[in-house]
Amino acid sequence: MQVDRSQGHLKQADDGLNATIANINAGGPTSAVGAKKRHYRHTFQPLPAPHTDWRQCRQALCQDNCLICTKAVADYGHHPKFKPVGKKGTKRILDEMGIPHSHLLAPDKAKLLNQQPNWGNTTPAICELFQNCGHYCLIGVACHAELACKEHGWARLKRHVKPYVNGQYVHCTELIHKGIQLIGQKARLEDARRC
């Protein structure tokens, strides 16, 4: 599947490892900061010397009774480089990875964390969705002239689909197939000529 480059298509998953939007401190489970902060996925990171297993230097749960972290530990805790993240702040994450950071300000700590393996360049959520189903999703280049006519096609298709959507996936799929047939080749060529 190839899609155009838009902010919606570039959006990372809510649990994607991007430290630029992480807090320095996670906040406690009852604090406003701790409650609002997103829960990041686990990862696998090199251990600081002289540790040989993640349990020697890393906290398993980001907060008391965190069910997401508990499940991740149960599923992947056997891996020696397992790194639970959850709602931990950048300070704790860097500490658990053994990376010196006391001389850095908050934005620089986030930059340093994003330079680590598995951090910073999380794949967009739509690409992850396709990959988990065994497919690929390619996001096009910005402002690609050859794809401009597709916007007109989407507008035409939405007129045939959006008013009739009832929340069922099968019904939506049927509407899309019927809408594509109703638009026809002539309208698509007109869109291409207009662009």
How much is the pLDDT for 23? 66
Instruction: State whether residue 41 is helix, strand or coil.
Output: coil
pLDDT of residue 25: 65
In degrees, rounded to 5, the angle at the alpha carbon of residue 55 between the alpha carbons of residues 53 and 59 is 140
Query: What is each CA distance from 149 to 145, 182, 189, in whole angstroms?
Result: 8, 17, 9
Low-confidence stretches of the chain (pLDDT beneath 70): 21-36, 144-147, 195
